[in-house]
């Protein structure tokens, strides 16, 4: 039996919050030319192969590829997940190598510059529109997703109960509460139901169904869903959100960033009480004079909170439960 040929890839989900939206840094060439037609190359995450002779560590290899493709020098980086499903890369279907990609999550401050015309910041909710509840329940759910899921549920009578339960938990279709962390569960369910264009590439999409959200190359939308779920979970118990902010900020700016990432509106007074009473932030003594309206106090992250508390996260005091 011939040995399986495996190539290791490195992917970066680089996130920032700008103008009140969570954004991901995308690229439009590089590996794209290797698997997509020139006239229809999809958007991709920064990516490059791990080269053992060149890269001392996986993370250093990732940082090199990101800087080469986007011109951005990364700060905070953590390993996300390993993506190795069979045929996730079309070259494997053509008797090419199995490609296993190690995904990383990187967080950068707003307006972080990149130095190439082939990179672009894109709103995460363009790819995952059902995840943004800041202005209430997304109309997309009732107009398209729920009717399509109902058809998918009854299509297999023997699996109907199991499918209905999965939909209820993931999308809160019945009495279940919307869980902001179930981002990947929701994407996987839409994929299995044939409601995202990536399923069409894998011969799962039904001809009579609608595809929701902007598509990504390969399984990069799955990577983004994994990353957003990770961020949403960690902001509750780790000071992750401060990696996305300038050194000084107003409490309103902090709330806007947390809302952008979590996809839900927060109760203003409860949120401010949470971060100040838990001493996550401290006043700088300066005022924000650049914003419109009345100047607001500027705060900074209080780094001693990491030593004083086991879970120094901001929490999510939701304004109104979805």
pLDDT given at position 86: 80
pLDDT of residue 207: 53
pLDDT for residue 31 is more than 80? no
User: What is the structure's pLDDT at 211?
Assistant: 75
DSSP 189-248: HHHHTT-SHHHHHTT---TTSPP-S---STTHHHHHHHHHHHHHHHTTTSGGGGGGS-SS
Q: What pLDDT is attached to residue 317?
A: 87
Instruction: Write out the H or E segment, with its range, that includes residue 154.
Output: helix 146-155
pLDDT tens digits for range 248-287: 999 999 999 999 999 999 999 999 999 998 899 999 999 9
**In this structure, are residues 100 and 6 in contact, taking their beta carbons and an 8 Å threshold?**
yes
**In the prediction, which pLDDT does 175 show?**
76
Burial class (CB in 10 A: 0-12, 13-18, 19+), 282: middle
Topology of domain 6-126 in CATH is: Nucleoside Triphosphate Pyrophosphohydrolase (3.90.79)
Task: State yes or no: pLDDT of 123 exceeds 60.
Answer: yes
Using a 10 angstrom Cβ sphere, with 0-12 exposed, 13-18 middle and 19 or more buried, the burial of residue 294 is exposed
* pLDDT surpasses 80 at 113: no
Instruction: Round to whole Å and give the CA distance between 256 and 10.
Output: 31
CATH architecture of 235-308: Orthogonal Bundle (1.10)
Give the number of other Cβ atoms within 10 Å of residue 48's Cβ.
19
Give the pLDDT of residue 222.
96
Q: What are phi and psi of 81, to 5 degrees?
A: -170, 160
297: phi then psi, degrees, rounded to nearest 5: -65, 140
Fold agreement between 6-126 and 235-308: no
Give the pairing of strands 98-107 and 6-18.
parallel
Predicted TM-score (pTM) of this structure: 0.91
Rg (CA), the chain: 21
Among the ranges given (73-87, 107-121, 132-146), the one the predictor scored with the smallest mean pLDDT = 107-121
Of the CA atoms within 13 Å of residue 22, those in its CB half-sphere come to: 30
Supply the pLDDT for residue 71.
86
pLDDT at 1 over 50: no
Q: Is the pLDDT of residue 2 over 60?
A: no
Whether 214 and 289 have beta carbons less than 8 Å apart is answered as no
- The pLDDT of residue 319 is above 90: no
The set of residues, in sequence order, having a beta carbon less than 8 Å from that of 279 and lying 6+ positions away, is: 302, 304, 305, 308
Q: How far is CA 21 from the centre of its chain?
A: 12
Instruction: Report the percent of the chain where pLDDT is more than 90.
Output: 59
Q: Is the pLDDT of residue 32 over 60?
A: no
Q: How far apart are CA 121 and CA 108, in angstroms?
A: 12
pLDDT at 110 over 80: no
| Confidence label for 11 from pLDDT (cuts 50, 70 and 90) | very high
Quote the CA–CA distance of 116 and 170 in Å, as a whole number: 38
Residue 291 is predicted with a pLDDT of 73
Domain locations in the chain?
6-126, 135-212, 235-308
Q: When comparing pLDDT for 273 and 321, which is higher?
A: 273
What pLDDT is recorded for position 5?
A: 82
Residue 241 has pLDDT above 90, yes or no: yes
In this structure, what token pair is assigned to residue 223? 């990577």
Of residues 72 and 96, which shows the higher confidence score?
72
Average pLDDT, the chain: 87
pLDDT in tens, 181-238: 999 999 999 999 999 988 876 664 455 556 789 888 889 999 999 999 999 999 999 9
Q: For tokens 């439009």, name the residue.
A: 28
């Amino acid at each position: 039996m011939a040995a399986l040929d495996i190539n290791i890839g490195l992917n970066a989900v680089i996130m920032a919050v700008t103008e009140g939206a969570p954004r991901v840094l995308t690229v439009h060439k590089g590996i794209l030319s290797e698997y997509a037609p020139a006239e229809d190359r999809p958007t991709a995450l920064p990516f490059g192969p791990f080269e053992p002779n060149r890269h001392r560590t996986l993370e250093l290899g990732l940082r090199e590829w990101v800087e080469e493709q986007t011109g951005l020098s990364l700060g905070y980086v953590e390993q996300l997940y390993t993506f190795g499903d069979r045929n996730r890369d079309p070259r494997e279907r053509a008797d090419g190598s199995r490609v296993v990609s190690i995904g990383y999550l990187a967080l950068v401050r707003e307006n972080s510059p990149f130095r190439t015309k082939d990179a672009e910041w894109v709103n995460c909710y363009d790819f995952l529109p059902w995840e943004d509840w800041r202005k209430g329940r997304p109309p997309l759910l009732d107009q398209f997703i729920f009717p399509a899921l109902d058809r998918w549920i009854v299509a297999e009578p023997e699996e109907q109960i199991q499918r209905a339960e999965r939909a209820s938990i993931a999308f809160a279709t019945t009495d279940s509460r919307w869980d902001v962390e179930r981002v990947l569960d929701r994407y996987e369910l839409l994929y299995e139901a044939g409601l995202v264009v990536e399923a069409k590439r894998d011969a799962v999409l039904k001809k009579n169904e609608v595809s929701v959200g902007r598509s990504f190359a390969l399984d990069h939308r799955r990577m983004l869903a994994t990353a957003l779920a990770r961020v949403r979970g960690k902001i509750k118990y780790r000071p992750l959100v401060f990696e996305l902010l300038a050194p000084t900020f107003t409490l309103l700016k902090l709330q806007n960033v947390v809302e952008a990432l979590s996809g839900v509106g927060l109760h203003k007074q409860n949120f401010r009480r949470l971060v100040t009473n838990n001493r996550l932030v401290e006043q700088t003594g300066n005022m924000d004079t650049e914003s419109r309206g009345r100047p607001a106090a500027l705060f900074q992250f209080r780094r001693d909170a990491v030593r004083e508390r086991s879970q120094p996260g901001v929490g999510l005091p939701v304004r109104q439960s979805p």
